[in-house]
Structures are given as structure tokens and as C-alpha cells.
Amino acid sequence: MKLAIFEIEEWEHEAFEPLNRAHEVIFVPGRLTADTAAKYADIEMISTFVHSELNHTTLKSLPNLKLIATRSTGFDHIDTAYCCEHGITVCNVPSYGDNTVAEHVFGLLLTISHHLREAFDRTREGNFSTEGLRGFDLREKTLGVIGTGQIGRCVIGIAKGFRMRVVAFDLAPDHEAARQLGFDYMDLNSLLKESDVVTLHVPANDSTRHLLSTEQFQLIKKGAVLINTARGTVVDTRALLWALANGRIAAAGLDVLLEEQTLRDEAELLRCYFRREKNLETLLADHLLMRSRNVHITPHNAYNTQEAIRRILKTTVHNIRSFAVCQPQNLVVLNDNGHRALSQQGYKAAV
């Protein structure tokens, strides 16, 4: 079968070399987009990361496509309804960086609590003044974890090392995990009112879109810190700007933004402006967040360690091989009411 691997770095080629014996493999450094898809009309299997455009327009240009092996846990960048209608199998990587993302959460949190970015910038300029750099301890603070899947539980384990009190919200509470790890479940509103730090670990779907919006930010403990390493859609960007401006949120650490792909590509940004293809107010709000001194943003990089990438590649190769012998693994499926969902194994990892 013909296989195209997109968004691939040269050092990653080696992981896919064993597939060359059974398939015709091509490597493409760039993203797959609607503009480039026609060049790959004969491709039967593709593997991409989250920056490729796997929407209706792109997929329609790939009439021979049988498999999408996304190198991610999340799959909100894929038009799964189209795939279901046209018999395209979609596989993901259910678990690859639970501890990796959890460690990034605390990288962002410590950057905020100890004013690390300001301290680095100041000393680089030869200024060793500590004025304005007084931070706060994590010990005895309350951490509110929204989503207690594998990543959320890793976050809780690290928080216990800092001697934080942990409360959590999840639509499907795992009371045995709560007993073992020593945290308490509560409803979302109570968690927001009690937490000094709120961290998000839910998948992107219709039920989590704008999970935190104006109503929730009005409830949140004044001066709380928000950490989001999940997806940009989970937070209403304009509501977050309001919360920052009014002191409801003291600071935010974000690895994701709602329009991060558009912001990433200057040409795409200009095209969206002239065609009005995106919500320009949201784009402006994202730009304002990027310029805010009390907002610390990383470029969707929480997953990006050597160990995690190798785990992603290994699982992706396994997914492609399994599909080729008619035993597909780690399937992304549609649930009965038409909402996008993962297989049971994948859902627990994504949360």
C-alpha cells in the first residue's frame, strides 16, 4: 500500500523504515492541507500530526484513502464524520506522554509562582534586583484538576510531591484512584471556588467547548492561576481576557490557543483576514493573550520530549502494521449520538 508520512523530521524516518518492506513509503516534512492534498490522490494511508488539515475539503481530494494514523491522542483536527461515511479508518496514540504533559504543567506553574521568566530576562540584562519577583509557595495550596484520566492522575501525583491539596472534577469519577492518590471529587463550581490553581485535562469535543467561560470565571477564586495543556477550545479566550483584566485570574500558563494553527502560519492568518474564514475577534483575543505579561504561553509543546516522541512513533508504526493485516488497533469511532469519541481505551488517556 502507498503510505505518506506528513510533518516528519528527518531523524524520525528511521522509525518507519521497517514499513518499507511491505509498503511504498514517502516522507513529507510539511503539513497536509487542502491546497496540497491533490498531489497525494493515490495515497492509501497517511500519518500526520495535529497541524495538518484533515477536514472535508482535504479528505475529498484523497479518494483512495483507507487509513489515517494520527500521531496524537487528540483527533479534533480530523473530520471523523467524513471518515465514517467514507469508510476511512482512523487510529490514534491513546497514551504516550502522561508524565510528559504533567511535567509541563508544573513547568508552567513554577514559571508563574516564582516569576521565572521575569527573573531570567532581568539577570540576562545584568539586573540582579529582586524587586517585584516575590512569588508564592505551592505547598498547602489547593490544586483543582479538571479531568482525571491518565494525564490528570499524573498531575495529581506530582502535586502530592509538592504537598498540595488536590480536588478534582470528572464526569466519570474514579473513586478508587481518589482513594489511592488522596484527592477529593467535587462539582465543577465548587472546585472553581476553592482552587488556587486550576488545571485542565479534558479532550476537545462538543461537551467541553468553552467549559470555562464568563460564568465559570465569575465563580473562580479571586487571584487563581489557570493552566491549560489540553485544547484551546476548552477555554473561552475572550472570557479569559476579561478574567485577567478584572483580577479573577492572576496569571495563566497556556500550551494551547483556540486559533494556534492560524497564528502559526502568517500566510494563513492573512488569508483568513481577507476571506473572513476565522473569527477575527478570537484571533485578536489570542494575540492579546500572547502580549500579556501575566500570561505564559508555550507553542503546543507539552508533549515534546525525546521519550514521548519515540513512544508516539512506535505506536503509530504498530497502528499501521495492524491495519495492514486487518486487525486495526487504537480506533477512533463515532458514538451512538453522533458525537466524536474515542474507543474506551483512548477516552481514558485523552482525559
* Residues carrying an active site annotation: 231, 260, 300
Task: Tell me how far CA of residue 268 lies from CA of 39, 255, 275, in angstroms.
Answer: 20, 20, 10
Question: Which distant-in-sequence residues (6+ apart) come within 8 Å of 270 by Cβ?
Answer: none
The DSSP secondary structure of 2-16, one letter per residue, reads EEEEES--GGGHHHH
Question: Which distant-in-sequence residues (6+ apart) come within 8 Å of 340 by Cβ?
Answer: 75, 76, 80, 81, 205, 206, 332, 334
Q: What are phi and psi of 325, to 5 degrees?
A: -105, 20
Question: Which distant-in-sequence residues (6+ apart) come within 8 Å of 127 by Cβ?
Answer: none
**Which neighbouring-strand residues pair with 334?**
340
The DSSP secondary structure of 92-118, one letter per residue, reads --S-S-HHHHHHHHHHHHHHHHTTHHH
Residue 311 neighbours by CB distance under 10 Å: 17
Select from 180, 176, 203, 202 the least CA-distant residue to 191: 202
Taking the C-alpha atoms of residue 233 and residue 227, their distance in angstroms, rounded to an integer, is: 14
Taking the C-alpha atoms of residue 26 and residue 28, their distance in angstroms, rounded to an integer, is: 7
Taking the C-alpha atoms of residue 323 and residue 278, their distance in angstroms, rounded to an integer, is: 36
